[in-house]
Structure 1
Amino acid sequence: MPCPNSARERSVTIGFRVTPEQARRIDLMARTSGMTKQDYLYSRALGEEVVVRPDVRAYKMLRDEMGRVYRELRRIRSAKEVDEGLAWTVGFLARKFAAMRGGEEPSDVEREDALIFGISRR
């Protein structure tokens, strides 16, 4: 039998509407944090730090999400255009993987860019 609202510590309900893309982003951020969506939103709304503790479940979720992103990128490779939602997801997941790895090492693309832009004329 549910507890009556007067006996609850959390007796106030706060609700808000988001777009489907915003909902997808919130879901992804909550899943990667290892927190429930409710706890994740509490922490973010109250300005508390969200610390991701890498575990097998978070790794599998990130792996699966990266697989989805990879399939989408292969599908649109010829279109030469990436929608804003996919670009955000790629950046978000890249930062999470870098944080799980520990140090930030430059990617192959960043290394190539540094070589190209570092070339001087004689």
Structure 2
Amino acid sequence: MSLKVVDKKNRWRNKTVAFRVSPEEWEQFETAARLSGLSKQEYLISRMYQRDIVVQGNPRVYKALRNELTKVLEKLEGVREVDSELLETIKLITLTLNGLKEETHVRA
């Protein structure tokens, strides 16, 4: 029998949560989790408890920010009106970048 995998608080997570979302909702969820630097599971648990998501600046987060900005810029080319989902992505990127800038500024 294999060993149980436990979390940081020594809890065995053996329950599964599943629900359906639209492709647009899935994309927004994946973007938010990716930009947070957390796993999807940790991101959902943090949001469930209404905890603040604290993004730790690291190469993975910076790469995710760069890639998301590239996607946003591609979607904005030739567009006259910005849809609400793209606007939410832009706000999330801005919030993350501002938080990382403040973190860097405070340490300096």
Both proteins in one fold, TM over 0.5: yes
The separation in 2 between residues aligned to 1:31 and 1:2, in whole angstroms, is 30
Uncovered stretches (5+) of structure 2, i.e. residues with no partner: 5-10, 104-108
- Distance in 1 between the 2:69 and 2:2 partners? 40
**TM-superposed deviation, 1:83:** 1.5
Structure 1 distance, partners of 2:56, 2:17, is 28
Decide which structure has the larger Cα Rg and report it.
Answer: 1
Q: Match of 1:106?
A: none
Larger RCO, structures 1/2 (Cα 8 Å, 6+ apart): 2
Q: TM-score, normalized by length of structure 1?
A: 0.69
The alignment status of 1:17 with 2:12, answered yes or no, reads no
Cα deviation digits, residues 63-121 of structure 1 (max 9, x gap)? 11101111211132xxx211221111111111111111118xxxxxxxxxxxxxxxxxx
Q: Among residues 31, 35, 46, which one is paired with 1:32 in the alignment?
A: 35
Give unmatched runs, 5+ long, in structure 1: 104-122
Q: What's the TM-score once normalised by structure 2's chain length?
A: 0.77
Identity %: 35
- Aligned twin of 2:95: 95
CA RMSD of the aligned region, Å? 2.2
Instruction: Please list every run of at least 4 consecutive aligned residues from structure 1 whose deviation after the TM superposition is greater than 3 angstroms.
Output: 1-4
**2:81 equivalent in structure 1:** 81
Q: Distance in 2 between matches of 1:89 and 1:48?
A: 20
Separation in 1 of the partners of 2:22 and 2:96? 23
Following TM superposition, by how much is the alpha carbon of 1:2 offset from its aligned partner in structure 2, in angstroms?
6.1
Tell me the amino acid that sits aligned with residue 10 of structure 1: R
